[in-house]
Structures are given as C-alpha cells and as structure tokens.
Amino acid sequence: MDHTTGQPHSPDNMPPTRKASVPAPAVQRLSLYLRELEAFHKQGVQTISSRQIGERLSLTDAQVRKDLAYFGQFGQAGIGYRVDELVGRIRWILGTDHTWNGLLVGAGNLGRALLSYRGFLGKGFHIVAAFDNDPALVGERIGVRLGVEVLPMERLAEVVADRAIQIAILCVPADVAQTVAEQVVAAGIKGILNFAPAPLSTPDDVAVVSVDLSVRLEQLAFRISARRLAEDAPPAKSR
C-alpha cells in the first residue's frame, strides 16, 4: 500500500495506465482472461501462451496480445506468460488486488440471492451491509452464514462512513432506482452496480454498471431465433 495516496502499489515494471482510454470491450475481456488464468493456476499450470488463452474464449492470440498491450508489456517471446504473475497484474489493473467493501439496497429475492453468493469475497468484494425500507425486513439477518443485517435507509450515510464502503448494489424497483442512486451517492458511494431495469443519472465521478437480466434474456432469445432462421432459410439461387 502506498501510504501517500492510500492506493496499492503497482506490480514491478507495470507502468501507470490511462484506463479511461482503453476500449470497453478490452476491459470486459480482461475479466474473462483473469477467470481463465485463475482456472489454469488451480490446475498447476505455470506458463501459458496467448494462443492457449484465446482458445478458451474463442479469441485469436492476436486479440489477446492486443488487449494486454493496452496495459504494458507482458510475457517473453518463446516462453509466454507466467500465470501467477499475469494473474497478479490483471488483478492490479482491475483494482481487485485488495478488498472492496460494498452494500446492497433491496433485500428482496434477488438481493437475498446476491447476499448468499459466496464468490464475491474471492474476487475482492465484501458485502458488509444491506438496506431496505420495508420495516418487516429491517433487523433480519441474511446472506452467507446469516452474516448481514438488513438496516433501515436512515442509517445509510452513517454506515457508509463507518465501514468505508465505496460500492453499492441496487436491487430495487425501476420507479425508485434513481432516488436510491441519489441517496447512495450523497452518502459517499463511488460505484453502483444497478440491477434495476432503469437508466441512472449520476455525477461524472460515480461509475455505474447496469445489469438488466430481461435484456440479456432477450439477446439470448435473439441469438437462438437468428440461428433457427438461418437454418430454415432457403438456399441462395445461383445466377
């Protein structure tokens, strides 16, 4: 940890990167690379090539090298990448080399499922608080080992400051999503994962990632339908 900035030190030979200039698809693929590299690491693989990474994700080795090149120099020609080293560097780039405290608003069915998900902590995310405006839910303990107490929204600012929370997960209805977003931003939250099917307006210094499950299902249905239509289409007539 760099005590002058409060941020983790970068790994050796890792230059500072203007992350805002990196294309969004490359950042998204970086998370996929990390997932595959962690799987290789668990299998005891020590070195790996861009071709091997690409094959796992149906990408070319050139695409893998191009994506990584946005963030510096990796690996050695003829040898490839050291798996443990690349895992560490990608975690640093993504900011998951240290733990992020998060909160969840909306302790309904989706909120409960997310609080019970055991994979967050392994990725560097610790959901330390949950909030709901339903008095029937306040005081209930849910999540992994019933470790998270549902608190009233009135305590939001206090808890964010006390537990150094920077990330909020919104599992609320669309008609209240903007109001809740404004509440968490006012409390000091800097990043929002939004499961509400509604766009959010936030200050420029607050990051928002939206996950609309119905849209994802529609995209899945489109792919299935498009494939079926392609199979059923009559062959093109030769001229």
Q: Among residues 94, 123, 156, which one ends one of the domains?
A: 94
CA distance 16 to 72: 9
Domain extent at residue 107: 100-215
CA distance 160 to 132: 15
What backbone phi and psi angles, to 5 degrees, belong to 60? -80, 155
Write down the pTM of the prediction: 0.80
3-state secondary structure of 163: coil
123: domain CATH number? 3.40.50.720
CA distance 156 to 222: 40
Percent of the chain with pLDDT over 90: 72
As beta bridge partners, residue 104 has 130, 169
Reported as a single tens digit per residue, the pLDDT across 59-98 is: 999 999 999 999 988 887 778 999 999 999 999 999 999 9
Reported as a single tens digit per residue, the pLDDT across 196-220 is: 999 999 999 999 999 998 888 999 9
* 75 plus 161 within the same structural domain: no
* 179 plus 90 within the same structural domain: no
Cβ density class 63-98: b for 16+ within 10 Å, e for less: bbbebbebbeebbeeeebbbbebbbbbbbbbeebbe
115 falls within a domain: yes
* 146 plus 201 within the same structural domain: yes
Cβ-based burial of 50 (10 A; exposed 0-12, middle 13-18, buried ≥19): buried
* 109 plus 205 within the same structural domain: yes
Inter-residue contact 88 to 97 (CB < 8 Å): yes
165 falls within a domain: yes
CA distance 182 to 105: 12
How confident is residue 227, by pLDDT bands cut at 50, 70 and 90? Answer: confident
What backbone phi and psi angles, to 5 degrees, belong to 180? -65, -40
DSSP 93-153: HHT-SS-EEEEEE--SHHHHHHHT-THHHHTTEEEEEEE-S-TTTTT-EESGGG-EEEE-G
Number of domains in the chain: 2
7 falls within a domain: no
